[in-house]
Structure 1
Amino acid sequence: MTNPTQPSSHTPPATGRVVTLTMNPALDMTVQADGWRQNAVNTAQAMQTDAGGKGVNVASFLADWGLPVTATGLLGADNAQPFEALFAAKGIQDAFVRVAGQTRVGVKIVDHSKQETTDLNLRGLRATPEALAALEAKLDALAQDHDLFVLAGSLPPNVPPDFYAALVAKLRGAGKWVALDTSGEALKAALNASTLPNLIKPNNHELSEALGRELSRPSDLLEAAHTLLSRGAELVAISQGEDGALLVTHGETVQARPPRVQVVSTVGAGDAMVSGLVAAHLGDLSLTDAARQATSFSVGNITRLGAHLPPLSELETYAAGVEVKRL
């Protein structure tokens, strides 16, 4: 596991306790194999294994930023040690429900020569009714003294597609601020629900799939974002890969474009953006500053392996290179 690097001389806000929910965590096995070819024997240059999953990554970034964060979800008891080590190293409160079996492994093949990353993700452990009941009780307890909830990642087998949608309604009904970063049927169900999250962070392809129509033009993305805002969302952040992200609120729209950097791995880039937006919300930043911060988190992440922020001075350099345009 990569040693965490804490940003220096950053003072986090005094209030705001965050919960990240990872229903389907993974041990990310990252293999560096420059110039690898399909259907051939390849030689790899390096390998490392990190505790991962979208919500776990978000918790890691937020802890690096100095925010109090609690991580929960379903975690296989047989290989929980890497997760426990990460939480202990970063001061993340471990509220995961242990379930029988092993957490899935996700294989990431990184080709530095092409600046490409290939993901091979397994489905994950089947969630039992008993585990889901225990998790529901855990979330109810956490809602007593936590303010923000980040629901991130795929759903494991045996969890209905509307799981996040129902949880969003419950949490927002209790006055919590909720961010959602998922895809597929889970995102579709959440976007079709009567209560939407405060923050929705899909990429353009995920949003197109969830809404059932091609969003090929910037005007299509803007129209879709404003529709979601009219139904109760507060911020729609649409990530667009190397083109950056489109951030839309009720009164403002900005396009953030990242500076050019040497890409080590794109794994966790979207999770870093979510983390930057959550931190920006807690810091009461303007949309322009939020876009700059979230993009700098993402850029900082892709320059290294694992879900870790670079030192503050490096983040500030990346932030200064982000081009933010008001639309």
Structure 2
Amino acid sequence: MLATLTLNPAIDQTVTLDALRPGQVHRARSVWADAGGKGVNVAACLADWGLPVAATGVLGQDNAAPFAQLLAAKGIDDRFVWVPGETRTNLKLLDAGTGETTDINLPGLDIGPSTLEAVRAVLSELACDGSLVVLAGSLPRSLAPDTYARLTGALRARGARVVLDASGPALAAALAAGPDALPHAIKPNRAELEEWAGRPLAEPAALREAARRLQASGIPLVCVSLGAEGALFVSRDGALQALPPPTTIASTVGAGDALVAGLVAGLHEGLALQDLARRALAFAAGKLSRTGANLPPRDVVAAIAREIRVAPLN
């Protein structure tokens, strides 16, 4: 079983502008909305690849229809817990000239102990020996920073492998957990790794050393996303950097989530590190060519994977 958790989902409203100029009035080229949140996006990409996946988390019942429609259209097992209120809407400003996206993330729903317990019960049903569970995204402000750490410990006790994509205090708490509560894989970006290390990591050697320290602490796979520079992968089998081919960018929204989905798909198939890196980067590059959390057909993703350069690192 593959499963994803999104405790702070969002409807992502993307506004495309000719150019983003702070302090000025803008006329939008286009506007569209996607049911999103990191775990939702990961599940969508896994479903596009043809893998059975369940998605859980918390949704506001007043505007849950876009999520229900997306999950049904993708064939994702909908295991969300619905609560009163509205799921937040996040604004994403896409600069058509540079391809860069500026995110404005709003506060999410407040989640009480009973709701979190309901989510835990769903995860307990989904997790079993050998399953992969993705814990992704920010935590609602009502939850403690160690929420992911505690969930990881419980999931590991059931034999599941946890893939964590988080930042800030939630990531720090998860990385500081005891050996029985560490995730199987993590995907920080450079800024998140620098925050954990407590210093800039501008030099490639410093970046590699920090990733190796995390891997040596008891996390079997560390993937550091580097945007246009690809991603760094460190495991007990070695270290390498994967570089994507030139890609036409339709939207960068969800590219990191597609990378996580590629990691999960590779782990699910037991791929060797080089092939896993190619799979992850191919998912991310394929998603860049499309809006929303959508992958191209499998043969297109496979073709992208063949173009990805992989460089072993000392």
Aligned Cα RMSD in Å?
Answer: 1.3
Contact 2:6/2:38 (<8 A) preserved: yes
AA of the residue aligned to 2:203: R
Aligned residue type for 1:153: G
Q: 2:225 pairs with 227, 235, 239, which one?
A: 239
Asked whether the equivalents of residues 129 and 159 of structure 2 are also in contact (C-alpha less than 8 Å), the reply is no
1:324 aligns with 2:310: yes
Does residue 279 (structure 1) correspond to residue 265 (structure 2)? The answer is yes
Q: 1:100 to 1:146 in 2, by over 3 A?
A: farther
| 1:145 Cα offset (Å) | 8.1
Pair 1:59-2:59 in alignment? no
Q: In 1, distance between residues paired with 2:297 and 2:186?
A: 27
Distance 2:303 2:52 in 1: 25
Partners of 1:34 and 1:316 lie apart in 2 by 33
Match of 1:141 in 2: 125
2:17 to 26, 33, 40: 33
> Are 1:212 and 2:198 matched, yes or no?
yes
Q: Is the 2:128–2:158 contact (alpha carbons within 8 Å) kept by the matching residues of 1?
A: no
- For 2:93, the equivalent position in structure 1 comes to 109
1:84 aligns with 2:68: yes
**TM-aligned CA deviation for residue 144 of structure 1:** 4.8
Task: Name the structure, 1 or 2, with higher relative contact order (CA <8 Å, separation 6+).
Answer: 1
CA apart distance, 1:36: 3.4
Q: Residues 18 and 146 of structure 1 are in contact (CA less than 8 Å); yes or no, is this contact kept in structure 2?
A: no
SS in 2 for 1:280: helix
1:74 to 53, 58, 71: 58
- Correspondence for 1:168: 152
Match of 2:115 among 125, 131, 144: 131
1:46 to 22, 26, 30: 30
| AA matched with 2:186 | I
User: Which residue of the partner structure matches residue 7 of structure 2?
Assistant: 23
Aligned sequence identity (%): 51
Deviates most, 219-228 or 233-242 = 219-228
Aligned pairs, number: 311
* Partners of 2:243 and 2:128 in 1: CA distance: 38
More off after superposition, 314-323 vs 103-112: 314-323
SS in 2 for 1:264: coil
Match of 1:251 in 2: 237
* Structure 2 residue aligned with 1:5: none
Moved more, 258-267 or 75-84: 258-267
The superposition leaves residues 100-120 of structure 1 with CA deviations (integer Å, 9 ceiling, x where unpaired) of: 110000111112222111111
Gaps spanning 5+ residues in structure 2: where?
A: none
In the alignment, structure 1 residue 187 sits paired with structure 2 residue 178? no
For the residues of structure 1 that align with 2:165 and 2:265, how far apart are their CA atoms? Answer: 15
Query: How far apart, CA to CA, are the structure 2 residues paired with 1:270 and 1:77?
Result: 27
- Residue type matched to 1:87 in 2? L
Structure 2 CA distance, aligned partners of 1:125 and 1:216? 36
Relative to the length of structure 1, the TM-score reads 0.92
1:150 aligns with 2:134: yes
Deviates more, 1:262-271 or 1:141-150: 141-150
Structure-2-length-normalised TM-score: 0.96
* Paired letter, 1:74: V
1:307 aligned partner? 293
| Partner residue of 1:228 out of 192, 214, 218 | 214
Q: AA paired with 2:290?
A: R
